[in-house]
Structure 1
Amino acid sequence: MAASRPIERAAILGRVVLAAGGGYAVAALSTALLSVTLPMPRSEAVTTATLLSFAILAGVVVLVFALATLRRAAALVLGAILVLGAGLWLAAGPFVLAGGAS
């Protein structure tokens, strides 16, 4: 088996970091957004959103490793983070995101 080049190792490390960090960020923002917007009692909405976050995290991990380039994967994860963050800001308002009471 041929030894892998340092550039290949760096690309794999980049995908692992992106999958872990970006996947966590997307899952956390999705959980927060769904908790605020699902049309059910708050406790059920939070539970449902939390359960869905595990599937979302797994999907982001698969997506990061399935895309052809690390740059494309990073762009897609960053785009999802921006869209979810904007949606959460619109749904919950800046006061709630800053740590204020609702």
Structure 2
Amino acid sequence: MIHVTFIAPDGQQTTIEAEEDSTLMQAAVAHDVDGIVGECGGAMMCATCHCHIDAAWQDRTGGPSSDEVEMLEGAAAEVDDRSRLSCQIRLTPALDGLVVHLPEEQM
């Protein structure tokens, strides 16, 4: 299992256990993490799974693709250099302990 900690805008932390090879969005939705909507189901057709990867984890998650960057332009919350679509991050053992910050809003 992969452990992921989500940090809400108010600082509240939620740690979940996720299946290896699931996406970050799938794991968040399966565990009812408030702040990840995933309206399109992971098809990269919305930006309701926008999140901010903790700076300590950015090298391990990698950067967004050009298509992801384009989709992030429509995100409801501020986009910065830590922004990713959680549907595009596949959970592997290298990401065990991942820390993700949730934006103020998704829609």
TM-score range, shorter chain: under 0.3
Higher relative helix content: 1
- TM-score w.r.t. structure 2 length? 0.25
Larger radius of gyration: 1
Say which structure, 1 or 2, has more relative contact order (CA 8 Å, 6+ apart).
2
- TM-score w.r.t. structure 1 length? 0.26
